[in-house]
Amino acid sequence: MSFDYDLFVIGGGSGGVRAARVAAGEAGAKMALAEADRYGGTCVIRGCVPKKLMVFASEFSALPAEAAAYGWDMSMGAFDWSKFSGHLNSELDRLEEIYRSLLKNSGVETFDARARLKDAHTVELSTGQTVTAKHILVATGGRPVRPDIPNAHLGIVSDDIFRLPKLPKSVLIIGGGYIACEFACILNGLGVEVTQYYRGAQILRGFDDEARGLIAESMREAGINLHLGTNIIEMASASADTTASTGGTGSDAAMGASARASGDLVEPAGKPGGPVWVKATNGSERVFDAVLFATGRDPNTDDMGLEEIGVQLGRRGEIAVDAYSQTSVPSIYAIGDVTNRVNLTPVAIREGMVFVETVFKANPTPVDHDLIPSAVFTQPELGTVGLSEEDAREQEPVEIYCTSFRPMRTAFAGQPDRVLMKLVVSKASRKVLGCHIVAPGAGEMIQLAGVAVKMGATKEDFDRTVAVHPTMSEEIVTMRTPMRVA
């Protein structure tokens, strides 16, 4: 059977673009790609890149106080959101154009259209055009979701943060994962009054307990009003009467009975971005300028025709794939967040690379999801690779090497900041099973530590490494005595 293309990729994010470029450029495949929104996907347009730029922006607010201890007389003016967001949007436009150019220069034909599957080899575009391909790769990523509660439409999600016309004076963040915690730190650094509700006992579930405990403590010290074991049970558009009765947006005053009974609060006609009245499980009632839901993400598989042609989906709509990213329909593959395996941009890129190895280079290569370094860009950052102490001790006896201290830079400035360096070591093999760092620049550190852990380095390999002094990271190779055995 003759096909229009060797491969058709649905989705112009990091994973899809990399797979398309490599298949066309290195394997000589006849390629096409469809993207319904902006090229670069979540990472470049609505996630990693703009978020990290916001992290950089938010860190400047702490510099004058620190500089004063070092003899500098600095003053900080007001943060200009409009100036920053304008520059940010220009940068995202530049990056999107780079993605388009990379595809064009690799010989990939692109369609600015939504695609859905008609059968195992046929793609139907929103333009009305139909094309065929020997292989189809779905790389449509995921999207943030709002909780299933009345008036959830009044809240914003992470995608909306980058499009705000102005910063709110107060914000309530719902959630305790890395997206919630990162934006709590970002907005706090930009001068927003931040309250965070998380229904669990501690933020950053799934990460090392000691590390996430230090981050929670640091967030509170920075002024974030973090409430654990707390969730939202009711929300409504805040009317003028409501605002007055609570003392204005951001007030902790209780809402008056007349305001609670007002029509605006029962059937609100408000728009996302607040002000919003919120009632919590701890009994508090308050009005916030904005409510940000960071309560999870779902794969983008709606109305793609997947189940109709036999592609198996999971409970959250994720595409079920095998170790080679192949779906239940042999000609269709899927990579990235749409599979809900490990939802990180570098993982999607790696999955795209091994897909090309498997399908176009006759080198069947399974996806390796073991020992993936990652970072959470809170303030301070968390860098992690391998097993947490809790997970490791369930598998085998381990030794824990750990130190927490005030780093030289901020200690000199009289600030309370603390950092954490931690190694989880197998008692039997002496391999380092996990490395966890909470510190400024932890993301940079963990990338290099990840190489050693991936190679199977032992604690003695770390011990033989000469320290770089004076640095925070030297503690990783100078810890000689285990803090505890588990």
Do 279 and 233 touch, CB atoms closer than 8 A?
A: yes
pLDDT of residue 251: 40
CATH number of 374-485: 3.30.390.30
Query: Per DSSP, which regions of 37-100 are E strands?
Result: none
- Closest by Cα among 2, 5, 4, 33 to 18: 33
Query: Among 185, 253, 183, which Cα is nearest to 223's?
Result: 185
Residue 64 phi, psi dihedral angles, 5° rounding: -55, -45
DSSP E strand boundaries for 300-369: 332-334
Neighbour count for residue 64 (Cβ, 10 Å) = 13
- Tens-of-pLDDT digits for all 486 residues of the chain? 899 999 999 999 999 999 999 999 999 999 999 999 999 999 999 999 999 999 999 999 999 999 999 999 998 889 999 999 999 999 999 999 999 999 999 999 999 999 999 999 999 999 999 999 999 999 999 999 999 999 999 999 999 999 999 999 999 999 999 999 999 999 999 999 999 999 999 999 999 999 999 999 999 999 999 999 999 999 999 964 454 344 444 444 333 333 333 333 333 446 777 699 999 999 999 999 999 999 999 999 999 999 999 999 999 999 999 999 999 999 999 999 999 999 999 999 999 999 999 999 999 999 999 999 999 999 999 999 999 999 999 999 999 999 999 999 999 999 999 999 999 999 999 999 999 999 999 999 999 999 999 999 999 999 999 999 999 999 999 999 999 999
Tell me if 214 sits within 8 A of 192, measured CB to CB: no
Q: Is the backbone of residue 410 left (phi > 0), alpha (psi -120 to 50) or beta?
A: alpha
Catalytic residue among 135, 153, 227, 469: 469
Per-residue pLDDT, 272: 78
CA 159 to chain centre: 11
Positive or negative torsion for Cα 282, 212, 186, 16: negative
User: Counting beta carbons within 10 angstroms of the beta carbon of residue 403, is it exposed (0 to 12), middle (13 to 18) or buried (19 or more)?
Assistant: middle
- Tokens representing 99? 């993605």
Matching fold, domains 5-143+297-360 and 152-293 = yes
Q: Give the long-range contacts of residues 428-433, CB within 8 A, separation 24 or more.
A: 428/396, 428/397, 429/458, 430/458, 430/459, 430/460, 431/456, 431/457, 431/458, 431/459, 432/386, 432/457, 432/458, 432/459, 432/461, 432/462, 433/386, 433/387, 433/392, 433/398
Specify the CATH superfamily of domain 152-293.
Answer: FAD/NAD(P)-binding domain (3.50.50.60)
Which residue in 172, 171, 179 sits closest to 205, CA to CA?
179
CA distances from 162 to 46, 94, 117, 194 (A): 7, 16, 31, 17
Long-range contacts of 60-67, Cβ-Cβ distance < 8 Å, separation of 24 or more:
60/189, 61/189, 61/190, 61/191, 62/189, 65/413, 65/415, 66/409, 66/410, 66/413, 66/415
Compute the distance between CA of residue 13 and CA of residue 214 in angstroms, rounded to an integer.
34
The two tokens of residue 200 are: 């669990």
The confidence score (pLDDT) of residue 270 equals: 63
Kindly give the pairing relationship between strand 419-426 and strand 432-439. Answer: antiparallel
* Omega of the bond leading into 470 within 30 degrees of 0 (cis): yes
Tens of pLDDT, residue by residue over 47-103, are 999 999 999 999 999 999 999 999 999 988 899 999 999 999 999 999 999 999 999
Between CA 372 and CA 346 the distance in angstroms is 9
Does domain 5-143+297-360 correspond to CATH entry 3.50.50.60? yes
Q: Which residues contact 42 (CB under 8 A, 6 or more apart)?
A: 13, 48, 141, 142, 337, 345
The helix (H) or strand (E) run that includes residue 6 is strand 5-10
What residue ranges do the domains of the chain occupy? 5-143+297-360, 152-293, 374-485
pLDDT given for residue 239 in this prediction: 66
Say which amino acid occupies 364. Answer: P
Cβ proximity of 60 and 76 under 8 Å? yes
Question: pLDDT tens across 263-301, in order?
Answer: 333 334 467 776 999 999 999 999 999 999 999 999 999
Burial of 275 (0-12, 13-18, 19+ CB in 10 A): buried
> 185, 376 in Cβ contact below 8 A?
no
The DSSP H or E segment spanning 404 is strand 398-405
**Is 469 marked active-site?**
yes
* pLDDT on residue 274: 66
